[in-house]
Structure 1
Amino acid sequence: MAIRPAEQILHKAAWLYYTHGLRQDEVAKHLDISRASVAMYLRRAREMGIVTIATSTELFSDDVLARTLEDRLGFDTVWIVPEGGHALDPAAEMPVVAAAAFQSLVKKGDTIGVAWGRTVYHIADVMPFADLQGATVVQLCGNLGAPYSYRPDQCTTEIARRLNAEGINFYAPLVMSTPELADALRREPVIQEQMARISECSLVLYSVGGIEPDSHLVKCGAVTADELKALEAQGARGVIAGQVIDGDGQWMDCAHNRRCISASISSIRSIPRRMMVVEQMEKFDALYAAIRGGLVSHLVVTASMAQRLLERFDADAGPA
Structure 2
Amino acid sequence: MAIRPAEQLIHKAAWLYYAHGLRQDQVASQLKISRASVAMYLRKARETGIVNISTSTQLFTDDVMARKLEDALKLDAVWIAPENGHVADPSTDIAVLAASVFLELIKKGDRIGVAWGRTIYTIADIMSYADLQDVTVVQLCGNLGAPYSYRPDQCTMEIARRLNAKGLNFYAPLVLTTEELARGLRAEPVIREQLSGISACNLALYSVGTVDADSHVVKCGALTASEMEVLRRAGAAGVIAGQIIDAQGKALDCSYNRRIISAELSSLRKIEKSLVVVQEDSKFEPLVAAIAGGLCTHLVVGARMARRLLDHAGPAAEKVA
Which category describes the TM-score, using the shorter chain as reference length?
over 0.9
SS for the counterpart of 2:65 is helix
Q: Percent identity?
A: 66
How far apart in 2 are the matches of 1:291 and 1:192?
A: 27
Matches within 5 A, 1:126-145: 126-145=126-145
Partner of 2:188: 188
Deviation at 1:87, TM superposition (A): 7.2
Deviation at 1:48, TM superposition (A): 1.4
Partner of 1:69: 69
How far apart in 2 are the matches of 1:50 and 1:77?
A: 18
Matches within 5 A, 1:117-156: 117-156=117-156
Deviation at 1:58, TM superposition (A): 4.7
Unaligned runs of at least 5 residues, structure 1: none
Are the equivalent residues in 1 in contact too, given 2:57–2:64 (CA < 8 A)? no
Q: 1:193-245 deviations in whole A, cap 9, x for unaligned?
A: 11122121111100000011021111111000000001000000100111100
How far apart in 2 are the matches of 1:301 and 1:58?
A: 20
Partner of 1:109: 109
How far apart in 2 are the matches of 1:206 and 1:44?
A: 33
Question: In the alignment, does 2:259 pair up with 1:259?
Answer: yes
Structure 2 counterpart of 1:221, which letter?
Answer: G
SS for the counterpart of 1:56 is helix
Deviation at 1:148, TM superposition (A): 3.5
Question: In the alignment, does 2:218 pair up with 1:225?
Answer: no
Structure 2 counterpart of 1:137, which letter?
Answer: V
RMSD: 1.6
Q: How many correspondences in the alignment?
A: 317
Deviation at 1:59, TM superposition (A): 4.5
Partner of 1:297: 297
Structure 2 counterpart of 1:217, which letter?
Answer: V
How far apart in 2 are the matches of 1:12 and 1:213?
A: 40
SS for the counterpart of 2:142 is coil
Q: 1:252-290 deviations in whole A, cap 9, x for unaligned?
A: 111111110001111111211111001211110010011
How far apart in 1 are the matches of 2:230 and 2:4?
A: 42
Structure 2 counterpart of 1:190, which letter?
Answer: V
Matches within 5 A, 1:167-316: 167-314=167-314
Q: 1:85 to 1:220 in 2, by over 3 A?
A: closer
Are the equivalent residues in 1 in contact too, given 2:130–2:164 (CA < 8 A)? yes
Are the equivalent residues in 1 in contact too, given 2:95–2:279 (CA < 8 A)? no
Are the equivalent residues in 1 in contact too, given 2:84–2:90 (CA < 8 A)? no
Partner of 1:55: 55
How far apart in 1 are the matches of 2:24 and 2:138?
A: 38
How far apart in 2 are the matches of 1:142 and 1:68?
A: 36
Are the equivalent residues in 2 in contact too, given 1:114–1:140 (CA < 8 A)? yes
Deviation at 1:89, TM superposition (A): 4.4
Q: 1:73 to 1:142 in 2, by over 3 A?
A: same
Are the equivalent residues in 1 in contact too, given 2:72–2:316 (CA < 8 A)? no
Deviation at 1:2, TM superposition (A): 1.1
Unaligned runs of at least 5 residues, structure 2: none
How far apart in 2 are the matches of 1:92 and 1:312?
A: 25
Deviation at 1:57, TM superposition (A): 6.0
Q: 1:88 to 1:53 in 2, by over 3 A?
A: farther
Are the equivalent residues in 2 in contact too, given 1:235–1:246 (CA < 8 A)? yes
How far apart in 2 are the matches of 1:86 and 1:74?
A: 33
How far apart in 2 are the matches of 1:134 and 1:114?
A: 17
Q: TM-score, normalised by structure 1?
A: 0.95
Structure 2 counterpart of 1:46, which letter?
Answer: R
Structure 2 counterpart of 1:165, which letter?
Answer: A
Deviation at 1:146, TM superposition (A): 4.5
How far apart in 2 are the matches of 1:251 and 1:136?
A: 27
Deviation at 1:110, TM superposition (A): 0.8
